[in-house]
Amino acid sequence: MNISYTNELHAKYSNRTLASAEAILPLVLSPMVPESVVDVGCGHGWWLSVCLKLGVKTVLGLDGSYIEPSQMRIPPDSFQAMDLNSPGIISQKFDLAISVEVAEHLHPSSTGGYLDLLASLSDQILFSAAIPGQAGDAHVNARWPAFWINELEKRGFVALDFIRPIIWHNEEVALCYRQNILFFVSKHKYDSDPQLRMLPRTNCLHLIDEGILESLLGFRASLHRCMALLGNMAWRRTPR
């Protein structure tokens, strides 16, 4: 993760992160609890700590070497330091991969390698990433959901959207997850599992919080006013 993301920021959001994980993971892990879960950009391990409570036997967290071991919520041997802007190779395969609100903190040039890593780790990915205009710290790679859907589709994954309708009005869950979280499944697993095929797939609609939308519209209006002002100034300075 971008080095500007710190232990202090992980601690700042810990309560909402835990509450969000406790609300979302039961929807994903039922009816059959997976044996193994990996979290790419795990921070202090809050999501994996909930996985362990729900009965997952093996967890692995991947994040930068800046993570302070004393702050971790998972066993020390369940964490592996990795620069997600230049990810290495993990030979192990997991039943589920998690990577939530991570991609926006990575350098845009590292997006391909990061997604290749996710696709290699599991046939099922719980994923969310900040959209343009979303408040937060060190957002250098914010994208619309369609970007991530298209990129993971190229890597053989189908996007399902069964979580957001359930949690949208749950204010215990942080807005970023209510707005952005999707579930990706490899196409071969989707085609072979009748239960997965019953779940709703994504469509062209975006869920955007009113505050974020107002912020984006306000920024666009301000930009238009600035461009008009610059245009008028240039016109006045043009020799007649």
CB atoms within 10 A of CB 65: 8
Listed in sequence order, the residues at least 6 apart from 209 whose beta carbon sits closer than 8 Å to its beta carbon are 175, 179
Contact 14, 46 (CB under 8 A): yes
User: What percent of the chain is predicted at pLDDT more than 90?
Assistant: 73
Q: What is the pLDDT of residue 227?
A: 57
pLDDT digits (tens, 9 = 90+) for 6-28: 667 566 668 899 999 999 999 99
Across the chain, mean pLDDT equals 88
Q: What is the pLDDT of residue 240?
A: 57
| Token pair in block for residue 211 | 């505050």
d(CA 129, CA 148): 9
100, with CB counted inside 10 A (0-12, 13-18, 19+), is buried
Q: Return the structure tokens found at 19.
A: 């509450």
Q: Which residues pair with 184 in a beta bridge?
A: 125, 159
pLDDT value of position 14: 81
Which is nearest to 144 in space by CA: 134, 155, 154?
134
pLDDT digits (tens, 9 = 90+) for 186-197: 999 999 999 999
Q: How confident is the model at residue 148, as a pLDDT?
A: 98
pLDDT of residue 230: 56
Long-range CB pairs of 33-37, under 8 A, 24+ apart, other chains included: 34/94, 34/95, 34/96, 34/124, 35/95, 36/60, 36/92, 36/94, 36/95, 36/96, 37/94, 37/95, 37/96, 37/97, 37/98
Q: How far apart, in whole angstroms, are the C-alpha atoms of residue 105 and residue 97?
A: 18
pLDDT in tens, 133-177: 898 888 999 999 999 999 999 999 999 999 999 999 999 999 999
* Burial environment of residue 180 by CB neighbours within 10 A (0 to 12, 13 to 18, 19 or more): buried
**144-153 per-position pLDDT tens digit:** 999 999 999 9
Range with the poorest average pLDDT among 12-21, 67-76, 186-195, 204-213: 204-213
Q: Give CA–CA dist 12/21, Å, rounded.
A: 16
Q: Check whether 2 has a pLDDT greater than 50.
A: no
**Angle of the 14-29 helix axis to the 46-53 helix axis, nearest 10:** 40
Architecture of the domain defined by 7-207: 3-Layer(aba) Sandwich (3.40)
Q: Is 162 helix (H, G, I), strand (E, B) or coil?
A: coil
Q: Where are the domains of the chain?
A: 7-207, 209-240
> Residue 219 above 60 pLDDT?
no
